[in-house]
Amino acid sequence: MSFQTLDQADLQGKRALVRVDFNVPLSHEKGEDGQVTDDTRLRAAKPTIDKLRTGGAKVILLAHFDRPKGKRVPGMSLKPIVAPLAKVLGVPVAFAEDCIGPKAREAVAAMAPGDVLLLENVRFHPGEEANDRKFADALAANGDLYVNDAFSAAHRAHASTEALAHRLPAYAGEQMRLELDALDRALGNPERPVLGIVGGSKVSTKLDLLRHLVTKLDKLAIGGGMANTFLYAQGHDVGASYCEKELAETARDVIRLAGQNNCKLFLPLDIVVAEKLAPGAPARVRDVGSVDDDERILDAGPETVERLCRAMANSKTLVWNGPLGVFEIPPFDKGTLEAARYAAKLTREGKLVAVAGGGDTVAALNAAGVVDDFTFVSTAGGAFLEWMEGKTLPGVAALLNRDNRAR
């Protein structure tokens, strides 16, 4: 992929408009400003901010928070982010009460090289989500160059993620670069064979993903509740399990498409069942199709997990989205945790490039204690999923294949 990085930018004295994702969880108590309860996204922005500061740039941060729908909503201000961000960076952070206009202009004019300024929520203006050209012009007026470090917002064609990139010399930030490089290693130009794991509860939410992956991967394992629909489509009884029976023919289409593209499909061989979903509920291992009417399939069985681990050992690249079972509730976490730990072991040994993403997937890898062992774990959510589906992300497309001159 062809995109400019900060290594190619002249930063000294320049005003760098940096799109970050600071849509962090806040807790509100007794009417006070919200307190950041998870600073992961603040820490993710630190390498880019540090690099810009070291290069002598004035760092001007653009971000959204929540969904104010183009109106100024005091409870959705970015001001509570200032103190925790300053703590993460180890330097003072100034704040402007607007992202355009006199307040933004005055705050930017007061900056010296190396200073950091956070502008108010870009979504307070309707022009942001409308990708309005005039609003993008107003944002661009305060910058000499543009840096996008928010892959998680790159699937939105908004003014601060798309239009702005066409008005200033545009660069990928450090987090964006890591994300794009990892995804290119996983699906763009991977080392083969490539194995995919797709889990979760619903086939209906991942149809585009499945149809795309079977044209890209050498092997695809389907787990979680969505595997029940595929088992049902093959004529197996799934008892009282969650199952989208109306999608049986669609599942059979995916199976046929996999065969046409020489993608080997792995469906469960055995499963873990219980009559109710509760911590410590009595669980039994059943062969596929041997499920009683009152039993629910809640995890992959040991034979299925063992075969999946063998498939990992015979692969060079792994792409993972979605758990194999109801990992939040033991004992139905066993399949997901065992598979995650084996993937981590292969990655540590240098035998596997493992890239994972999606909210439930990250939570499962955290539960297994292996997030840091994977090659890359994306927290981008919707953007990660759309990339895996083969869709064009407007915020990424605006950075790619450009002559990097302001337009």
What is the phi-psi region of residue 395: left when phi exceeds 0, alpha when psi lies from -120 to 50, beta otherwise?
Answer: alpha
- 202 in catalytic set: yes
- 382 in catalytic set: yes
Q: Exactly one of 43, 105, 202, 402 is catalytic; name it.
A: 202
Task: Please state the separation of Cα 155 from the chain's center in Å.
Answer: 11
- 316 in catalytic set: no
Q: Exactly one of 70, 101, 114, 359 is catalytic; name it.
A: 359
């996204």: which residue's tokens? 41
CA distance 206 to 60: 37
Say how many Å lie between the first and final Cα of the chain, rounded. Answer: 21
- 14 in catalytic set: no
DSSP three-state, residue 27: strand
CA distance 81 to 39: 9
Q: Exactly one of 14, 19, 41, 51 is catalytic; name it.
A: 41
Cis before 193? omega within 30: yes
HEC profile of 309-347:
HHHHHCCCEEEEECCCCCCCCCCCCHHHHHHHHHHHHHH
Cβ neighbours, 10 Å, residue 84? 19
Write phi, then psi, for 140 (nearest 5 degrees).
Answer: -65, -25
Q: Exactly one of 70, 114, 381, 382 is catalytic; name it.
A: 382
* Strands 26-27 and 35-36, bridge-based pairing: antiparallel
Residue 41's H or E segment, with its range, is: helix 40-54
Q: Which positions are catalytic?
A: 41, 202, 359, 382
